Structure 1
């Protein structure tokens, strides 16, 4: 099994904090998600996460006008410069202070940064590969100007359209006008008059007006005019920037949290603290829309370059919205879980991931697009476990509200609810592979409850455990049920036998998780002392064990007095799962590490780091002693009472709360992995963590992975062999040295995707059975996987199906005997065939509707053209063209009824 899994995407969280950003073409939206950046393609309805990560949460980000350079800055002022198109980090830099505003100039030559109360103007680094004075070089960060005049932090920076002037808004109640370079007759100008901090300041399209918006809801319009005498209308002073008009957003007690201005269309968008946003037309201050898009604060708002789409972000609820104001419709509406995720599961086809959380919601995420496609809210308390039935699109979930619910993922509805005779909260769940029986365990009862899915009736309560049942799992054959309990035992039940017997397996500590190997012959159990135990199902003998305490421990919390190796809270695995072939086991716990073990040898194969975000507890190996004071760590000291605004000084959070959104007072969120699961294809796995839903996958596109390679196999020799095979086939001669089989085997040994695709598509359809029949068995899994991907990606429908048919006709017995080894490949083929069937079904249904509609309508009306008109229409047409002329005249005179 391959183990070089790489981070590929982040789901489950769409926005954390910071500013949102549209790309210059307006089709993509960049959102900071913790210490990473997620890009949402609004046209193709997909999302991806950039591969780099910061050490703390991202505060600010901006793109150059050309869209090739992305600059992201975290909470500590550390910046990463990225080539956005290639997704490669170019340079790391520190601004030595918290950055509160960031903006590239329209010319792209400079960018301005607000570091506290200072305004710094930097030269934009040249993109690697560009020529300067005939030489290719990379210019790092060069400071152009460093200005200081504000008395508080800068909240917003705006450039003029010619990149000569800058406009800054600050919390010191003023805005200031700066010049990029010293100019004759220009002095930096201060615009004062607001009673609360200025949130944003903007030039209009002609740069003769300035609009400033403050937190108390005041909008001032400034113009460069001279003061006039009201009686004589004569200028009595020098021209300067003056307040021409004052407008106010009347929103009772709500404050303005964010605002942005689109100069080309004179649109002002304002987000309020009560979840409302307003769209205003300036300078007349006409309100176009006033809508509620969130139940909490709107923290950031932005508008794309064309002025059509508005993007809103709410950090408290993790909401991200893109709204088209002209059609009043949502382009994007996504929201993550409000609370920590408890469990996750892949759908049988590997196309969806289901997550459950303490907020009582169940979310279904599409793996390809990265979007949440449906959210279920019927549970009234935290959802603790989820499981798919092996056949069909049926999902089962358990909750602390005392119910087990069954969901139909085709119609997206809850069609069955199971409850116990007494009020219990359920924490574990298992579903029979046939989907006939569902079992659940509870921390309030020591029994296992068994229901019938068809009738919804409680069939049995399995007794035997002497402590709460913490984990359940069914074997793939459905004959055995395994349960783990806090009574230090794992029991294997035969619930479909004549006598419902259980085989107890004694362990040394509380059982946290259990899992069946895919072949159903082995059980893995994780216990509270950090041990992994492997037991044989047939003879109840322990086959191996792993001491994982040293592997899983890592990372110190800010309040820890001991090192991570001596901390007791990170010494166990909360969830374990087998790989598709059963050779490896994946384990995750309250730690920043996910461990992959080899089951046969018990050795650690690889450790995957969940997060390096130091904004979370448990990610640092060494603590900074300078942050330890007599009052405790500085990160845990409550500084709420020192805020300048009364609204910010009020602390409504709960002391000591570590989970949910009430943990801002005395604790910080801790890094932990609550659940892990392998994809059915074995090519990816996902983990539910504090950061979100992390997906790791095998990336084959950029990795050179040859198989049994020697010096004679090169792309040129493979193509030469292919040409010789074509010539031999055209001449109907048999050449044992140059055949399509030899070219195909050489391509598999080189394992270069483009060469392999060229050889594969060059083989004539009539030779496919002969080639497949002679393929060595060592290349069969690679060929099967390649054909499955080709059927999913290429348009050669019949050609790919002929390969699949030949493979199973010639080597079906071999695949059946090794079904456990070839499980990922067989699932990939099944998914490809299902997609082809669904596409053909959809196409035939559409054609059937179109044909029925056309047959039900008359083609031409009854009014036929006269012969005189026909003669005029056809002119000097020859006799052989009479029929065509008739048809043309009918088209002109007759009324055509039907589809255009």
Structure 2
């Protein structure tokens, strides 16, 4: 089994903190998610996460006007420069202090950052296609100038359209105008008059007007005017006189106020082309205003909590909002009043996850009582179930994948129909129990659940919803349940140090106890139902034979899973016992490996037969989470404890930030706004995809997907100097040696080039090319054709490739089923999808075709024209008719 899984995508979290950005064409939205950046493609309805990761949560992101360079800065001021098209981190840099504002100039040559009360302007790092010499600089970051004058934190930066001037807004109640380079007759100007900190300052389109917005809801309009109280100049006095210049300055021409009681302005954005001002308030309401008349266009409540950030795309049609407390991300088209994107992650820790049998969906459950279904291909949440009234602890699919079962602490087991998206059955016990584990019979007829309150296992009939039986035998809470894949037995694990194998379908229900040395945390069946893996509290992984009920082997995983030191730990990471066990384990689809995770930053992949650790995956390097460091910094320890745990809310500069709004009592699942200051990194669930090409893990940061298919753009195989993209295209189009061109494209392994060669081969030559293809390239060809069958509009062309591969190399595919099993699954899924779409298309048009065929025909030419229409070629049909003047069309338009 291949183990080179690489980070592929991050689901489950859509926005954490910081600013949002639209790409220059407005089709993509960049959102900071913890220490990573997720890109949402709003046109193709897909999302992907950039592969780099910061050491702290991201505070500010900026994009060049061309959209090719992305600058991300974390809470400590450390920056990463990324090439967006190739998704490569180009350079790391530190600004040495937290950055509060970031803006690139419209020319793309400079960018400004707000560092505390100072502003620094830097040269934008150039790429080879920008440089005249085509060479990269030795120092990518060169500082142009430092601007001082503000007395408090800079909150916003905005450039003029000609990139000569920029505006800054700060907490010191002022906005200031600066010039990039010294200008004749220009001195930096201060715009004062607000009574609270200024959140934003913006130029109008003609740059004759400036708008400033403060936190208390005041909007000031500024213009460059002469002092109205000064005496008028005489006719013989020149206008360019110095006295006249001194009397002309920026003055307030209009004052507007948002009439909203007890609310503050949290964020603002201004679109100069359409004079559109967007304001987000602290009560979750946003307003649209047309300037300079200050006409209210629209107000809408989109969240229960503060709106943290708002931005507008280049055309001014789409507004993007981020609310960090609930993890909400919205894109709103204000003219049609419709949502382009509406996503929200879990705002509490995830408890479990499961892949759908077809591998296209992932279901996650969390302490917030929500069940979310995520589409693997698009990365979006497609449905959310909220019927549970407490934390959801486990989830499981029935074999076909159309029915999902979930267990909850509210005392119910619910069955969900994933075709109509509804809850069609609810199972409860005679007494109120908090269910913590769940197992479903592969046939979908019986569901079992275990609880931490009761030592019994409850069994229900899915058809009737009745409680069939209660299995007694455990002497401690039941922590985990699992049905054998063949449906023969159900296995339960408990805190009483035993695992019991139950034959619930026999006439006499018997249980076979397996004795262990510690509390059982999780167990998993091998896909062939012959072996059982058990994880216990002492960090041991043991493997048992189901038929013989005896232990076959075991591995000590305490040193493998031992993670970092948590901020509250009194002991070092090596001596802490809390993170030295696996709380979740799963077999791979071929049964050769076991994936295990626990309360640490590591996920371990073990090979079952030799009992070796194949690989250890690091979930997160984010220092904003507790438990990612092996050793804590001693200078962060104070007399009052670790500095990260000291509540600094009472020292905030703004009054609303000093007020404690949290509810008294327990906060688990209660008040979503009262989050922990430093969440601990942990893995609460892992699962392999049915194809075996990827696995996912539910962690503190979200739903992490690791895949074998994250192929880089350039990954050469058997390459020599003669193989280049140009030579490959020459062989394809000039020499017409299609097999050689295909092999050269596979050697270069650039996806666009392979696709171009693939589509350039005539359909008549497909069978000949496939027949002569070397066997070593068959798995890669099969996988590429399978992916194209899912994505490409050329359905028949792709099906001809699939047919040719199976006809020419069917015996080899059969003999090597294990190596190409994942590819065959994709082929099967793609062909099934085509069949379903064609069936739906035929069903929708069957009456139209019957009607057309039932019309009387006067001449054969009409029949030919009808055939042309049915084939989609209306031009030929019209030409056929025009050739014959006597043709009479009946019933055809």
**When the two structures are superposed, what TM-score results if normalisation uses the length of structure 2?**
0.88
C-alpha change, 1:134 and 1:265, in structure 2 (3 Å) is closer
Alpha-carbon distance in structure 1 between the residues aligned to 2:741 and 2:491 = 49
Alpha-carbon distance in structure 2 between the residues aligned to 1:484 and 1:857 = 70
1:376 aligns with 2:401: no
Q: Do 1:159 and 1:166's aligned partners in 2 also have CA atoms closer than 8 Å?
A: yes
C-alpha change, 1:658 and 1:35, in structure 2 (3 Å) is farther
Deviation at 1:826, TM superposition (A): 4.4
Alpha-carbon distance in structure 2 between the residues aligned to 1:713 and 1:163 = 47
Alpha-carbon distance in structure 1 between the residues aligned to 2:504 and 2:724 = 58
Alpha-carbon distance in structure 2 between the residues aligned to 1:391 and 1:204 = 59
Alpha-carbon distance in structure 2 between the residues aligned to 1:103 and 1:659 = 39
Q: Match of 2:211? A: 211
Alpha-carbon distance in structure 2 between the residues aligned to 1:641 and 1:559 = 22
Deviation at 1:609, TM superposition (A): 0.6
Q: Match of 1:687? A: 697
Alpha-carbon distance in structure 1 between the residues aligned to 2:743 and 2:207 = 68
Q: Do 2:713 and 2:749's aligned partners in 1 also have CA atoms closer than 8 Å?
A: no
Give 2:681's match in structure 1, choosing from 666, 671, 677: 671
Q: Match of 2:843? A: 845
1:804-823 alignment runs, 5 A limit: 806=807, 823=821
Q: Match of 1:832? A: 830
C-alpha change, 1:153 and 1:766, in structure 2 (3 Å) is closer
C-alpha change, 1:764 and 1:180, in structure 2 (3 Å) is closer
1:802 aligns with 2:800: no
1:509-528 deviations in whole A, cap 9, x for unaligned?
A: 11110000011110001111
Deviation at 1:762, TM superposition (A): 7.7
1:65-464 alignment runs, 5 A limit: 65-128=65-128, 130-133=130-133, 135-137=135-137, 139-229=139-229, 238-464=247-473
**SS of corresponding position for 2:822:** helix
1:583 aligns with 2:620: no
Deviation at 1:853, TM superposition (A): 6.9
Q: Match of 2:708? A: 698
C-alpha change, 1:644 and 1:803, in structure 2 (3 Å) is same
**SS of corresponding position for 1:31:** strand
1:22-33 alignment runs, 5 A limit: 22-33=22-33
**SS of corresponding position for 1:564:** coil
Q: Do 1:553 and 1:570's aligned partners in 2 also have CA atoms closer than 8 Å?
A: yes
Q: Do 1:637 and 1:666's aligned partners in 2 also have CA atoms closer than 8 Å?
A: no
C-alpha change, 1:859 and 1:166, in structure 2 (3 Å) is farther
Give 1:536's match in structure 2, choosing from 525, 534, 545: 545
C-alpha change, 1:801 and 1:846, in structure 2 (3 Å) is farther
Alpha-carbon distance in structure 2 between the residues aligned to 1:797 and 1:609 = 39
Q: Mind listing any 5+ residue stretches in structure 2 that lack a counterpart?
A: 235-242, 859-879
**SS of corresponding position for 2:167:** strand
Q: Mind listing any 5+ residue stretches in structure 1 that lack a counterpart?
A: 729-738, 861-879
Alpha-carbon distance in structure 2 between the residues aligned to 1:349 and 1:134 = 48
**SS of corresponding position for 1:427:** strand
Alpha-carbon distance in structure 2 between the residues aligned to 1:692 and 1:471 = 23
**SS of corresponding position for 1:829:** helix
Deviation at 1:834, TM superposition (A): 1.6
C-alpha change, 1:120 and 1:770, in structure 2 (3 Å) is closer
Q: Match of 2:64? A: 64
C-alpha change, 1:566 and 1:804, in structure 2 (3 Å) is same
Q: Do 1:128 and 1:138's aligned partners in 2 also have CA atoms closer than 8 Å?
A: no
Q: Do 1:657 and 1:667's aligned partners in 2 also have CA atoms closer than 8 Å?
A: no
**SS of corresponding position for 2:574:** helix
Q: Do 2:347 and 2:672's aligned partners in 1 also have CA atoms closer than 8 Å?
A: no
C-alpha change, 1:524 and 1:704, in structure 2 (3 Å) is farther
Q: Do 2:498 and 2:520's aligned partners in 1 also have CA atoms closer than 8 Å?
A: yes
Alpha-carbon distance in structure 1 between the residues aligned to 2:219 and 2:885 = 70
Q: Match of 2:876? A: none
Query: Mean Cα displacement is larger for which, 843-852 or 465-474?
Result: 843-852
**When the two structures are superposed, what TM-score results if normalisation uses the length of structure 1?**
0.87
Deviation at 1:808, TM superposition (A): 10
Alpha-carbon distance in structure 2 between the residues aligned to 1:782 and 1:581 = 20
Q: Match of 1:875? A: none
**SS of corresponding position for 1:435:** coil
Q: Do 1:130 and 1:137's aligned partners in 2 also have CA atoms closer than 8 Å?
A: no
**SS of corresponding position for 1:150:** coil
Deviation at 1:851, TM superposition (A): 2.9
Q: Do 2:230 and 2:247's aligned partners in 1 also have CA atoms closer than 8 Å?
A: no
Q: Do 2:120 and 2:146's aligned partners in 1 also have CA atoms closer than 8 Å?
A: yes
Q: Match of 1:545? A: 554
1:398-797 alignment runs, 5 A limit: 398-653=407-662, 667-699=677-709, 701-702=711-712, 785=783, 788-789=786-787, 791-793=789-791, 795=794, 796-797=797-798
Query: Mean Cα displacement is larger for which, 487-496 or 369-378?
Result: 487-496
**SS of corresponding position for 2:835:** helix
Deviation at 1:126, TM superposition (A): 1.0
Alpha-carbon distance in structure 1 between the residues aligned to 2:327 and 2:766 = 56
Alpha-carbon distance in structure 2 between the residues aligned to 1:462 and 1:367 = 37
Q: Do 1:748 and 1:756's aligned partners in 2 also have CA atoms closer than 8 Å?
A: no
**SS of corresponding position for 2:107:** coil
C-alpha change, 1:133 and 1:507, in structure 2 (3 Å) is same
C-alpha change, 1:809 and 1:130, in structure 2 (3 Å) is closer
Q: Match of 1:40? A: 40
Q: Do 1:765 and 1:799's aligned partners in 2 also have CA atoms closer than 8 Å?
A: no
Q: Do 1:527 and 1:573's aligned partners in 2 also have CA atoms closer than 8 Å?
A: yes
1:183-207 deviations in whole A, cap 9, x for unaligned?
A: 2211111111111111101010111
Q: Do 1:578 and 1:586's aligned partners in 2 also have CA atoms closer than 8 Å?
A: yes
1:668-687 deviations in whole A, cap 9, x for unaligned?
A: 21100000000000000000
Alpha-carbon distance in structure 1 between the residues aligned to 2:851 and 2:719 = 62
Query: Mean Cα displacement is larger for which, 61-70 or 456-465?
Result: 456-465
C-alpha change, 1:698 and 1:658, in structure 2 (3 Å) is farther
